[in-house]
Chains A and B, each alone.
Chain A
Amino acid sequence: MDDRRATPRTALPAAGARTASVDIYAPQWRNFIFVAPFLFFFTTLLLVPLFWGMWLSFHKADTFSSGNFVGFGNYIRLFHDKVFLQSVWNTFYFVLLTVPTLALIGLFLALCLNRRTRTAAVLRTLFFSSSVLSVTIVTLIWRIVFIPNVGLLSTIYGWFGATAPAFISDPSLAMIGIAIATVWWCIGLPMMLFLSALQQIPQDIYEAAALDNANRWQTLRSITLPSIKRTFVLVVIVQIVLQFQLFGQAWLMTRGGPNNLTKPIVLYIYDTAFRRWDLGMGAAASEVLFVLILMAAMAQYLVTRNKAGQA
């Protein structure tokens, strides 16, 4: 209704689409209505909790009250807590185990499956399929692989008369077990990102290389890999951000044990805030995680932004 009045009025000086378009894009307060509903939820459920969380991290708080101001007390306690330091180390260790593996296997699969054959299409579908499962199902599957007696692994080892490594209970293997389940779960995304990068390499470069009698290794090393360098960095950063948030696999497969050796930061937050109800300290731990993830996200932003410059 209002628009009908507005359009003719400003279109007055010179009739025609040109002036009308100038008018349509003039800033107007009522246009805000379109973004207001989202901004309401964004503010109340993301921005407010974000700052509330920072504020909480300086307080000794429980569920219903925000308690007393303790300054950096929570952070000081945090960095004196051996379990927290262990969980930071565990998280980095887990990232170190999974991210390179995911990037390399993903790249390998993308290189092999970047063909127009039916088999390649079926295999791509297969390798991505685990990504749609929930963490509950994935951990159930892998616990039944690793479990002694009826486990798939111990059955296979049994055929050769050997004993399977105890991926869940052995302190030195537990995190590796979680990493294996995670790689199995997450391999689809890196593969797909590499595939879409490979498809953007112009075909004529390959034709030129073929005319020059370049062999496959030379083609791979001097054309394919340099062309997807940026995607490789991107995949690594995306995976770092994702794997930093490890929680479900560790909670469901090992409960963080044995001896907190598989307890990641998020599980520490969960334990501290929602099982011991020390919300202030939980909030402080989540701020530490936030800073770590923000650094990776900044790196991602820089890489994505340099796309144009790097060609």
Chain B
Amino acid sequence: MRAPTISIKGRAFGDRVLLALVILLSLVMVAPVLWVIGLSLKENAELMANPNSVFQAPYTLKNYINTIGTSSVFVWVRNSIIVSGGLTLGTLILSSLAGYGFARLNFPGRNVLFVIVLFGLAVPEQAVLVARHQIFSMLNFHNTYHGLILPGLSASFGVFLMTQYFKAIPKELDEAAMLDNASRFRTFWKVLLPLTVPAQATLGIFTFLGAWNDYLWPLISATKKDMYTLTVGMASTQTNFAQSEGIGFLMAQAVFAGAPILIVYLFFQKYIVTAVSGAAVR
């Protein structure tokens, strides 16, 4: 569709129809978010009296002040940062080492092990959830940071990604370093690792985002309020939704939680899109 720039009769009309459709779809994308932002800026009493009041002043920041005043939100943000950060760091270390190992080194059983690791890509979290929960109960890992971080470290995707990346680096580089009597680890650390920074960024952002947005495992593992991550914590405040009590407050909370991640997305868009598409196709 992008290729022919030669104009053909009837093209302009067709283009306009397509444009109208795309604009309509983009409105569907944006309108709910604008609605949420609008509600977050209104007094609750006013909203209950007339929902159309969203479109008129007065607007207020009261809901945001209340959100920030609720100390729990900061605890949840802190928990999310610790869990996502810890998992990202761990994944990068484990995946880089293993990726280098599978791509460059030979050891007995390497190919079989790699196939088993690839098989891990096909195992959904739900298939291991119940057993994992029981094992963690026995180890007393629930409601701890390591209890939230550890399951993510078993994901194969990072190893798969890093193995592919290391394989694409010319072998002559390692060989030159080895001839200079550098050890395996030195070769890995000083020569190859610096070349994988783009893959590290992709994997790092993907892992962080996945952990930040994870809902199922934190929901069953972190059952104490002060161990909630942001996703679980926010979900827990939504229960009195039906009575429409404090809708503006809930909306302010949603904006407060969603805005940082959207800003990060705008900055790292390229890496995020690469990582997410790469993870899907494998």
Residues of A within 8 A of B (CB): 1-4, 7, 17, 20-21, 24-35, 37-39, 41-42, 44-50, 52-53, 56, 61, 63-64, 66, 105, 108-109, 111-116, 123, 125-137, 139-145, 147, 149-152, 154-155, 158, 184, 187-189, 192-193, 196, 198, 203, 206-207, 209-210, 215-216, 219-220, 224, 234, 238, 241, 244-245, 247-248, 252, 265-266, 269-270, 273-274, 279, 282-283, 286-287, 289-290, 293-294, 297-298, 300-301, 304
* Complex interface: chain A residues within 8 A of B132 (CB): 45, 49
User: Would you call B94 and A293 a contact (CB within 8 A)?
Assistant: no
* Complex interface: chain A residues within 8 A of B2 (CB): 114-116, 198
**13 contacts across the A-B interface (CB closer than 8 A):** A3-B181, A4-B183, A17-B179, A37-B98, A133-B262, A136-B232, A147-B241, A150-B247, A152-B32, A155-B54, A189-B276, A245-B125, A274-B220
* Complex interface: chain B residues within 8 A of A108 (CB): 21
User: Would you call A21 and B261 a contact (CB within 8 A)?
Assistant: no
Residue of B nearest to A17 (CB): B175
User: Would you call B18 and A127 a contact (CB within 8 A)?
Assistant: no
User: Would you call A193 and B282 a contact (CB within 8 A)?
Assistant: no
Residues of B within 8 A of A (CB): 1-4, 6, 8, 11, 14, 18-19, 21-22, 25-26, 28-33, 35-36, 39, 47-48, 51-52, 54, 93-95, 97-98, 100-102, 105-108, 110, 113, 116-117, 120-135, 137-138, 150-151, 153-154, 156, 159, 171, 174-175, 178-179, 181-184, 188, 209, 212-213, 215-216, 219-220, 230-232, 234-235, 238, 241, 244, 247, 250-251, 254, 257-258, 261-262, 264-266, 269, 272-273, 276-277, 280-282
| 7 other A-B residue contacts (CB within 8 Å) besides A46-B156, A193-B281 | A116-B2, A134-B213, A150-B247, A152-B31, A189-B276, A238-B281, A270-B220
Closest beta carbon of chain B to A41's beta carbon, Å: 4
Closest beta carbon of chain A to B131's beta carbon, Å: 4
* Complex interface: chain A residues within 8 A of B48 (CB): 149-150
Closest beta carbon of chain A to B116's beta carbon, Å: 8
- Which of B21, B171, B262 is in CB contact (< 8 Å) with A132? B262
Closest beta carbon of chain A to B211's beta carbon, Å: 11
- Which of B8, B97, B150, B235 is in CB contact (< 8 Å) with A216? B8
User: Would you call A32 and B22 a contact (CB within 8 A)?
Assistant: no
Known: A7-B178, A252-B238. Contact between A141 and B36, CB under 8 A?
Answer: yes
Residue of B nearest to A155 (CB): B51
User: Would you call A269 and B130 a contact (CB within 8 A)?
Assistant: yes
* Complex interface: chain A residues within 8 A of B138 (CB): 64
User: Would you call B131 and A41 a contact (CB within 8 A)?
Assistant: no
* Complex interface: chain B residues within 8 A of A52 (CB): 131, 134-135
* Complex interface: chain A residues within 8 A of B212 (CB): 134
User: Would you call A38 and B95 a contact (CB within 8 A)?
Assistant: yes
User: Would you call B247 and A144 a contact (CB within 8 A)?
Assistant: yes
User: Would you call B105 and A31 a contact (CB within 8 A)?
Assistant: yes
User: Would you call B1 and A112 a contact (CB within 8 A)?
Assistant: yes
Interface residues of A, dominant DSSP: helix
* Complex interface: chain B residues within 8 A of A245 (CB): 124-126
- Which of A7, A21, A46 is in CB contact (< 8 Å) with B171? A21
* Complex interface: chain B residues within 8 A of A136 (CB): 215, 230-232, 234-235, 238, 257
User: Would you call B128 and A53 a contact (CB within 8 A)?
Assistant: yes
* Complex interface: chain A residues within 8 A of B11 (CB): 216
A207 and B6 CA atoms in complex are apart in Å by 10
Known: A128-B273, A132-B265, A137-B257. Contact between A53 and B26, CB under 8 A?
Answer: no
User: Would you call B129 and A269 a contact (CB within 8 A)?
Assistant: yes
Question: Among the interface residues A46, A184, A282, which one has the most CB atoms of the partner chain B within 10 A?
Answer: A46
* Complex interface: chain B residues within 8 A of A64 (CB): 134, 137-138
User: Would you call A27 and B257 a contact (CB within 8 A)?
Assistant: no
* Complex interface: chain A residues within 8 A of B235 (CB): 136, 252
A3 and B179 CA atoms in complex are apart in Å by 10
* Complex interface: chain A residues within 8 A of B230 (CB): 134, 136
A111 and B194 CA atoms in complex are apart in Å by 38
User: Would you call B22 and A109 a contact (CB within 8 A)?
Assistant: yes
User: Would you call B105 and A125 a contact (CB within 8 A)?
Assistant: no
Closest beta carbon of chain B to A104's beta carbon, Å: 12
Counting from the closest, the 7 A-B pairs by CB-CB distance are A34-B101, A206-B3, A290-B127, A45-B154, A31-B105, A52-B131, A38-B98
